[in-house]
Amino acid sequence: MALAAVIAAIPLIAVVGLGAEAGSWYVTKQHAQNAADAAAYSGALKLACSLGAASGTPCADAQSVDTRAKQFAAQNDFCDGRNAKSKGTPACPSYLPTGTSQTVVIDQPTSWNGTSGSFVRAVVNQTQPTFLVSVLGLSTLTIGAQAIAKVDVMANPCILALNGPISFQGSPDIEAPGCSMASNSTANNALDFTGNGMTINTSLSAAGGCTPTTSTFCQKSLTYMPPVTNPFSILDTIGSGTNHTLTQQDLGLSTSSKTCPNSQLIAYSAAARV
């Protein structure tokens, strides 16, 4: 009976061990997907910053899309040791088991699933030795994941809410195909639609969300976007009752723009008006 029990236990131990090994593969797969998601999103933020700079909004980040994406992949424990240091990403962790290697590849497709646009794709892989499965002839296993992020950059809006939401009530008819509208509010209702029969022909974006989420306009709007830079932020530095000479840089104008030289803006408070 003891011999029979030992013989029966051998395949049972093998199945349990194989299940444990396959379970570790699943955990690695989830970590790989997290790293790919973070890399694609971070690279897309940098790409959006660069595209915004091309349209006139300054981008303070001098790093490349590849660098930013790989930095966040490394922060999620996926690091490409082939070029980590040269790309400015953190050094690869030393705790990886012997025989285990990782790769992180970042590219920028110009189309995805038949849709053209600006994309950032992250592909991460981990190749590791197998244990029980090696008896079947599979000595190594590559576990990977992929993520892709699309970048939509809106032109500088002609209507911008710096703090509160933009609300649409009743049945407005808005025709502004060459003008976008944006809200820097981070609230869930940064774009708020109340009413029926609306006609809105313009692009909408918000740093927060859109309500109700079932609204057709919410589904077409860009939500949780980076806030839009206040084009009149220079006015915040002007004290009441003082004069300030506006330069072309203050107004965001190029040196070739036609402006009135030495123009002055006299700031005043609403309470001082008569």
Q: What is the pLDDT of residues 76-93, one digit of tens each?
A: 989 876 644 444 555 566
**213/197 Cα distance (integer angstroms):** 17
Helix H segments across the chain? 2-54, 65-75, 216-220
Q: Give the pLDDT mean for 114-141.
A: 86
pLDDT tens digits, 208-238: 999 999 899 999 898 988 788 787 777 776 6
pLDDT for residue 270: 46
88 — alpha (psi -120 to 50), left (phi > 0) or beta?
left
> DSSP state, 248?
T
Q: Give the pLDDT mean for 11-33.
A: 76
Per-domain residue ranges of the chain? 11-151, 154-231, 233-274
* Pair of tokens at residue 258: 């036609």
- What value does the mean pLDDT of the chain take? 79
pLDDT for residue 38: 95
- Let me know: does 240 contact 267? Beta carbons within 8 Å: yes
pLDDT over 50 at 168, yes or no:
yes
Farthest-apart Cα atoms in the chain, separation? 106
**206/209 Cα distance (integer angstroms):** 7
Helix (H, G, I), strand (E, B) or coil at 56: coil
Q: Give the pLDDT mean for 171-189.
A: 90
pLDDT over 90 at 176, yes or no:
no
Lowest mean pLDDT, pick from 8-12, 23-27, 144-148, 223-227: 8-12
pLDDT for residue 64: 92
Q: How confident is the model at residue 267 (pLDDT cuts 50, 70, 90)?
A: very low
